[in-house]
Amino acid sequence: MAAPQKNSAVRFFAELPILAAIALALLFIIKSFIAQPYYIPSGSMEPQLHVGDRVLVSKLAYRLHDPNRGDIIVFPSPEDHSAGDQGTLPGKLVRGVLEAVGLREPPKTILIKRVVALSGETVEGRDGHVYINGRMLIEPYLPKSVVTDDFGPTTVPKGDLWVMGDNRSNSEDSHIFGPITESSVIGRAILKVWPPGQTSFL
């Protein structure tokens, strides 16, 4: 009886690299086209999202509908002009897998902010609040103590979005680098998945 058990163990270890490759391929497909966890790297979205929290980012959301005001989105910083990661292929794969499961911080050039103004709208920071087309924007997701610095007025170009962090005093966002292109959006944060016991829809 020992021989069949030995053959079974040999088959298992022989098939293990194939199973691992399939798992990595599925993970890559899910990360690239469907959804992936995202590690919150800064306090710009406090108090709703804190450093170290993880959120699930849908990459399908904006194939079904246009961005809406109030959506929390992930996108590359428009101020990043680097030529890209020049690391080795194995290193890139390892980093990609760790980022895909939310165990590694994303590059500092990947940002998470809230959509505040849409294409064609005129946005302005005045008297501690945001104004859209001259009317004060009601932002129920902000604590009452939050004050928005003065900026603008700025008309958001066609195909662009105006994004801001909830932590207005500690956020590098559109009031610094201007609107972002809608086509650059990686996805919409739809669910807070970490830490345990604090899961919530966004």
> Nearest 5°: CA angle at 67, between 105 and 170?
45
Spatial separation of the C-alpha atoms in residues 156 and 119, rounded to whole Å: 5
Mean pLDDT of the chain: 81
Write down the pLDDT at residue 39. Answer: 87
Spatial separation of the C-alpha atoms in residues 92 and 192, rounded to whole Å: 26
Write down the pLDDT at residue 84. Answer: 46
42, 44, 58, 174: which is the annotated catalytic residue? 44
Spatial separation of the C-alpha atoms in residues 36 and 29, rounded to whole Å: 10
Element (H, E) at 75: strand 72-76
165, pLDDT greater than 60: yes
Verify whether residue 44 is a known catalytic residue: yes
Alpha helices, DSSP H only, in the chain? 2-33, 61-64, 89-100, 174-177
Mean pLDDT across 68-90: 72
Of residues 109 and 75, more confidence is placed in 75
Closest among 175, 202, 160 to 38, alpha carbons compared: 202
Question: Is the preceding omega at residue 153 within 30 degrees of 0, hence cis?
Answer: yes
Of residues 25 and 176, more confidence is placed in 176
Write down the pLDDT at residue 196. Answer: 84
Contact 183, 75 (CB under 8 A): no
189, pLDDT greater than 70: yes
Element (H, E) at 82: none
Alpha helices, DSSP H only, in 34-125? 61-64, 89-100
Contact 177, 154 (CB under 8 A): no
Question: Is the preceding omega at residue 47 within 30 degrees of 0, hence cis?
Answer: yes
pLDDT tier at 32, thresholds 50, 70, 90 = low
Closest among 43, 191, 160, 19 to 113, alpha carbons compared: 43
Domains in the chain: ranges and CATH: 42-79+109-201 (2.10.109.10)
| Distance set, CA 183 to CA 74, 151, 158, 160, 173 (Å) | 12, 24, 11, 8, 17
Tens digit of each residue's pLDDT (9 = 90 or more) over 147-164: 999 998 999 999 999 999
31, 59, 113, 192: which is the annotated catalytic residue? 113
* CA 48 remoteness from chain centre: 14
Verify whether residue 183 is a known catalytic residue: no
Write down the pLDDT at residue 28. Answer: 55
Cα dihedral sign for 95, 101, 106, 111? Answer: positive
25, pLDDT greater than 80: no
Tens digit of each residue's pLDDT (9 = 90 or more) over 94-151: 555 555 555 555 556 889 999 999 999 999 999 999 999 999 999 999 998 999 999 9
